[in-house]
Amino acid sequence: MKNFIAHTDTIRQEMLNEISCADIDDLFKQIPVKFKDFVIGNPLSEMEAQKQVKSLARKNGTEYACFIGGGVYNKFIPACVNYVAQRFEFLTAYTPYQPEVSQGTLQVIYEYQTMISRITGMDIANASMYDAGTACAEAVLMAHRIARGKKNKVIVSTRLNPEYKEVVKTYCWAQNIEIVWLDKIPENCEEYCCVLIQNPDYYGEICEIKKTDTILIVCADLASLSILKPPYEADIVVGDIQPLGISMEFGGPHAGYLACKEAYMRQMPGRLVGQTFDKDGNVAYTLTIQTREQHIKREKATSNICSNQSLIALSATLYLSLVGEKGFRQASLLSANNAHKLSKELEKKGIKTLNTNFFNEFVIQVDNADNFLLKLKKNNILGGIKIDNTKVLVCTTEMNTDEEIQDYVNAI
């Protein structure tokens, strides 16, 4: 706790000397003189201030039709999600170490775990991860522990999201685990501790999932699982919960999920909320498994993940409870229908779709990706993600209207 003691005059002077400043005034002299002429303007009423801020915000050019995916999606979020999630009881609460005063938070996490298990077809799910990238990496380390370190190589699909790849590479480097990057998974995988694939993959292609002779990890889009068969062949299923009522927010913060078969429960990273009964026979919730090093002997810890994304997991739980199974499926069907509609319209314009089987994302072939996307942006359309000079990854969700799809086609 010594780091939280206020600085003494001696310590302050030592820091000033280190940066060649005589005193505090000397430090602040380095601020550009132009700020002295900064004009804030006359005082405004609250109403006037709101109008001026909105006027300034319009200059940001936020009124774009969005066709960007690649792991972060423009999904419809019922107003109730943020209204409830931002109540102070949830927004300011810390992690639920004391179950007797955290029953509401613990129940939400328990419901979240149950929902993720049902969607993925797995036996059990933890209380959430930081994001999809860390969920992928933690799943690989989990498989390595299950193999008791006897197998030190993993297969990772080259069609995994590039951002997830970087996180997996970092985690494996730290554990001296060798990564073998493959586009196609071989029939014999016994020498590897696990296989990590993504479905639909980063390029939107839906692949056939086959059982392997080692641990199979599937990174799955939860929205797609409302209309596609859950990956029952997998041993561990991971991914991002952003499609479940979480706003894009410039790429974060979001949260990851990790679900697995019951046999591997003790090797799960993070924490697990369980349901029990109190001394009076009433239903109660508590942290059942806490496998981080702060709670148990460091050498027995499964991960150094420090917490779960409980507030975002709460938002996902609220979203699923509000839209229900039917609404969840309907949103995914709309997303898929929009994607196939746009693909067909682009084909009529001579732009080829390179996918053979896709959900709501697909790759198109263009003459020049930069020019293609720039032309769309000039028409207030965010047209997709550049894969290379001639390929663009395009995505649709339930938020895209028929008019926007037609505008996309007309703009090119």
Residue 237 sits in the same domain as residue 336: no
Q: Which CATH number goes with the domain that contains 295?
A: 3.40.640.10
Residue 166 sits in the same domain as residue 144: yes
CA 400 to CA 412: how far, in whole Å? Answer: 17
pLDDT at 293 over 80: no
Q: Are 172 and 137 in contact (CB under 8 A)?
A: yes
The pLDDT value recorded for residue 1 is: 35
Residue 137 belongs to some domain of the structure: yes
The pLDDT value recorded for residue 304 is: 72
- pTM, two decimals, is 0.85
Greater pLDDT, 403 or 59: 403
Residue range 64-89, pLDDT digits in tens = 999 999 999 999 999 999 999 988 88
The pLDDT value recorded for residue 378 is: 93
Q: Are 328 and 226 in contact (CB under 8 A)?
A: yes
Residue 72 sits in the same domain as residue 87: no
Task: Indicate the number of domains in the chain.
Answer: 2
Closest CA to 133 of 253, 224, 214, 232: 253
pLDDT at 58 over 60: yes
Residue 177 sits in the same domain as residue 296: yes
Residue 360 sits in the same domain as residue 304: no
Mean pLDDT along residues 380-385: 96
pLDDT at 57 over 90: no
Q: Percentage of residues in the chain with pLDDT exceeding 70? A: 92
Q: Provide the residue range defining the domain that includes 398.
A: 65-76+325-411
pLDDT at 3 over 60: no
Residue 54 belongs to some domain of the structure: no
Residue 97 belongs to some domain of the structure: yes
Q: What is the mean pLDDT of the chain?
A: 90
Three-class secondary structure of residue 242 per DSSP: coil
Residue 223 belongs to some domain of the structure: yes
Name which of 111-125, 269-283, 311-325, 339-353 the model is least confident about.
Answer: 269-283
DSSP codes of every residue in 109-165: HHHHHHHHHHHHT-SEE-S-BS-HHHHHHHHHHHHHHHTTTS--EEEEETTS-HHHH
Q: Which CATH number goes with the domain that contains 373?
A: 3.90.1150.10
Residue 366 sits in the same domain as residue 276: no
Residue 304 sits in the same domain as residue 340: no
